[in-house]
Structure formats: structure tokens, C-alpha cells
Amino acid sequence: MEINTSEQLAAVVKNAVQQQKITDMHTHLFSPNFDSLLHRGVDELLTYHYLVAEVMRWSDLPIEIFWQLTKSAQADHIWQKLFIEHSPVSEACRGVLTTLQGFGIDLRSRDLDAFRQIYAQYDAYSQVDKVLELAGVDHVVMTNDPFDEEERGIWLSGTKPDPRFHAALRLDPLLNDYAANKDKLHAWGYQVEDVWGEQTVREISRFLQDWIVRMNPLYMAVSLPPDFAFPEDSDRSRIIEHCILPVSRGKSIPFAMMIGVTRAVNPALRSAGDSLDKASLEPLAYMLRTYPHNKFMTTYLSRENQHELCVLGRKFRNLFVFGCWWFLNSPALIEEVTRMRFELLGLSVTPQHSDARVLDQLIYKWKHSKEIISMILLEKYKDILRTGWVLDCTEIERDVADLLHNNFWRFLDKSDRILS
Ligand code: REL
Ligand code: ZN
């Protein structure tokens, strides 16, 4: 159907974004059969580390005392300080409200215990079904860390994720703290040596390959500090060059780098204590240029790096640009970054991932982001309609499917997942 009026255009764009099933390419969620690793429900929503950081700005409680409280007492405290004593307008607070509303909860009562009871009716499986349906998500990519004892045990016992959940092999301990984790590799039967050499390369590569077989990951991933450099004289650089990149190429599994995080700026806040800084894009440019047959997925944490990343995306097709990560996952910044990407890279990106740590957050992360993506798409389509270009609604549906689903699977060469 050809689009003739701007009202028609607005309705088609809104509907296409609303209806499109999403592949969420980076989350911290787990398949429902991964026991307690999957976090869900009101207390988890309220104790999200974004809100821990925010509550400490109002609370008189020392952080050490806060950590000694039970999870529900922490949630009560956050509710009281951030929702009752002040209006919950921050993005993380608003997210809780959108999520509860989306779950069918009437917020007027402000009665946390009543909200808890509503959630208590669900087990992990029924809640996953309900939330994925409400959020319009059909595939979820997890973050899977073979150095995490609990998670490791689950994989080693042969547990396989629900088919809607896909693994991503996360390698932060290997790449960011190799010296501290070398002994673990040894204990698990990988004969890495103290001095870097052929044997260590072989053994780390074997470790990667074993976990690839076990997890069947869609990509390997790492988060990196702002001063990340490559190549350089460091364990991290050697492991990337001699182990990750050859395995990534050989197995056709892209290497995802999330760059710009400064961990533990305020360690007392634990996971709420991380921050960010600007990074140089030179290491990424070097990799893209030097390894044209390797595939890289990249997002940066600082706003300042976004423009350079778009420009680099124009130079290298082995670079997949994705998401508004963490401190960028905030409406004002999503809007700016998404508009810039569409203008510089067209529709060849995955504009967003949820980074959800709590299952229910899928509802708000996607509702909020989809509103912005819709708005920017509408603006861009209007611009081209004004030139006399004619659009058909199937073209808009195709574009939206690319953005929220197909571009990711296409980059992975998983043609069976691409929706036609
Ligand atoms: O994947 C990561 O490294 C980050 O996204 C997380 O560490 C972070 O805590 C996350 O919750 C951000 O949204
Ligand atoms: Zn993350």
C-alpha cells in the first residue's frame, strides 16, 4: 500500500514498530531453567543497581548498612526514598513504573506488598512467557561467563537454554584479569604457562573452543576500559591477537567489544559503582583494518565516542554498530545517538539492546526505546517523502524488521532466523 498522507505514514510507522518482534542482542537475563541466575519480580526491579546509585543520593543510610539489609528491605528503602518521598522521574524510576503498569498492575495504591503478591503467582517459566509477550521480544541473548562458578556448574551439568535464549560467551575475566584467572584455567586442565608462548596460545584457544561447543554462543564479548589499546604489550592484547581473533574467524563467531567502562569508581556501591570515560577509537580502527575477515560488534559507553563510531562504521563493513549502552540508555541520549546513526549509517545498525538484568525490565526498556525509534523513523521518512520519493508500507515494515531483528542475524550469517 502506497503512503499518501503524513497521518497514514505516522500510523504505519507506529504500527510497524509496535508489531515487530525484537531480537534483544545484549541482556544479562538467563533462560528460565538456569535456576536463580534469572532475576525477576518487584524486589529485583527496585534493587537494580541503577536505583541503588540513585537512592544513595537521598538516603542517610551508610552503604555498608544498606548492603546488610535483606533484598526486600532494600527494595522498601528504595521505594520509600525514590518513589514516595520524591517523584520518580529518573529513567530508572520511570522504568519501574512502566514495567509494573505493563504487567497490569494499578499503581494508584503505591502498595508494594500488593505488587509483590501479584508477582508471586508466577514461576520462572510462566513469567518468561508473559514478559516476552508483553515486551514483544522473541529472542534474548544472554551474557554467559564461564568463570562464574554458579553459571559454570549449570553449563557443565549439560543444561541447555530455552530455544528463545541464546548464549554470548563473555570473556571479561580472561581478558581484563588474566593474571588473577590463570590459575583457574590450570585447575580446569588448561596447561597455560607463566611465560607467553605457543602452548599458552593453544591452551587458551582450546578453552575458548570447548566453551563454544558447550554454549553455542552467537558471539564472544568483552567490556573494556577507556584506555583499551590494541596492539600493545599486555596479556589482553596477546590473547585477543593470538587466541580470540583466530577462533572468532575460524568459527565465524563475531567478537563484540563494549568499550569505555571504568569499573569500581566507587567500589562500595558494588555493581552500582562503575563509571565511564571517553576512549580512543584507534584500536578498533586498527582491528577493522588489519583483520578484514573478522567480524566485530561494537558499542561505546561515552556519548562523545558515538560520532566517531558512526564514521568508522562508514569505512568498514566488518563493523556492526549496536545499542545505546547503560548510561546512554536514557531517552535524551537514545534520541541523539539514534538520529545520528540513521543519518550517517542509514538503517544498517541495531539501534538498541535492553541490557536488562531483571526479566521484567524488558517491558520498559523496549517500550521507551521503541517510542523514540518510531519518532525518529517518522521524521526521516517525512524528510524523504518531501522530495517526491514514494514509500510503500511494506518497505517500512521491512526497514523496521531490519532494525529490530534481521540486521543482527544477517551479520551473524544466520539466514534461518531472518524474517522475510
Ligand atoms: O555488560 C556489561 O558490562 C554492562 O552492561 C553491565 O556490567 C552493567 O552493569 C549493566 O547492568 C548495564 O546496563
Ligand atoms: Zn551489559
**Stretch 91-102: mean pLDDT, rounded?**
98
What is the model's pLDDT at position 99? 98
- 351-392: per-residue pLDDT in tens? 999 999 999 999 999 999 999 999 999 999 999 999 999 999
Residues 149 and 64 grouped into a single domain: no
* Interval 12-25: pLDDT, tens: 999 999 999 999 99
Whole-Å CA distances, 150 to 40, 98, 300: 18, 31, 29
Indicate if 234 and 111 belong to the same structural domain: no
| Residue found by looking up cell 567478537 in the block | 255
Same-domain check for residues 374 and 357: yes
pLDDT tens column, 165-205 = 999 999 999 999 999 999 999 999 999 999 999 999 999 99
Asked if pLDDT for residue 74 goes beyond 90, the answer is yes
Neighbours of ion ligand 2 (CB under 5 A): 355
Same domain, 289 and 202: yes
Judgement on whether residues 61 and 24 belong to the same structural domain of the protein: no
Same domain assignment for residues 187 and 271? yes
* 199 Cα–ligand 1 center, Å: 33
Residue 27 resides in a domain: yes
Same domain, 317 and 383: yes
Q: What is the pLDDT of residue 91?
A: 98
Say whether pLDDT at 393 is over 90: yes
CA 6 to chain centre: 34
CB contact burial 9-25 (16+ within 10 A = b; e otherwise): bbebbbebbeebebbbb
Q: Is 365 in the pocket of ligand 1 (CB under 6 A)?
A: no
* Domain assignment of residue 189, yes or no: yes
Q: Could you tell me the sign of the dihedral formed by the alpha carbons of 68, 71, 77, 82, in that order?
A: positive
pLDDT in tens, 319-347: 999 999 999 999 999 999 999 999 999 99
Q: Is 176 in the pocket of ligand 1 (CB under 6 A)?
A: no
What residue type is assigned to position 238 of the chain?
A: R
| 160 shares a domain with 30 | yes
Strands 165-166, 137-141: pairing is: parallel
413 and 369 both lie in a single domain: yes
Which amino acid residue places its CA nearest to atom 12 of ligand 1? 326
420 pLDDT higher than 90:
no
Residue 263: which pLDDT band, with cuts at 50, 70 and 90? very high
Position 58 in a domain: yes
The domain that holds 361 is classified in CATH as 3.20.20.140
Pair 23, 61 in one domain = no
Q: Among 222, 326, 327, 358, which residue has the most ligand 1 atoms within 8 Å of its CB, making it the best to mutate? A: 326
DSSP-derived 3-state class of residue 389: coil
**Pair 346, 337: CB distance under 8 Å:** no
Closest residue by Cα to atom 7, ligand 1, is: 271
From 66, 92, 121, the end of a domain falls on 121
Ligand found nearest the CA of 28: 2
One domain for residues 370 and 331: yes
Using 50, 70 and 90 to split pLDDT, how confident is the model at 103?
A: very high
What's the gap between Cα 53 and its chain centre? 19
Range of the domain at 59: 41-121
Has residue 157 been placed in a domain?
yes
Q: What is the mean pLDDT of the chain?
A: 98
- Whether residue 318 is contained in a domain is answered as yes
pLDDT greater than 90 at residue 122 = yes
How many angstroms separate the alpha carbon of residue 332 from the centre of ligand 1? 19
Residue 128 inside a domain? The answer is no
The minimum-distance atom of ligand 1 relative to the CA of 221 is 1
Model confidence at 4: pLDDT above 90 = no
Give distance in angstroms: CA of 337 to centre of ligand 2: 18
Q: What is the mean pLDDT of residues 207-230?
A: 98
Residues 167 and 279 in one domain: yes
| pLDDT given at position 117 | 97
Mean pLDDT, residues 18-41: 98
Q: Which domain CATH number covers 88?
A: 1.10.2020.10
The response to whether residue 326 sits with its C-beta less than 6 Å from ligand 1 reads: yes
To the nearest 10°, report the CA torsion of 212, 215, 218, 222: -80
pLDDT for the residue 140: 99
12 lies in some domain? yes
pLDDT at 361: 98
Q: Is residue 132 included in any domain, yes or no?
A: no
The complex scores an ipTM of 0.99
Q: Whose CA is nearest to atom 13 of ligand 1?
A: 326
Examine the fold and report which residue of 121, 150, 179 is the final residue of a domain before the chain moves on.
121
Give how many domains the chain has, as a whole number. Answer: 2
**Is there an atom of ligand 1 within 6 Å of 223 CB?**
yes
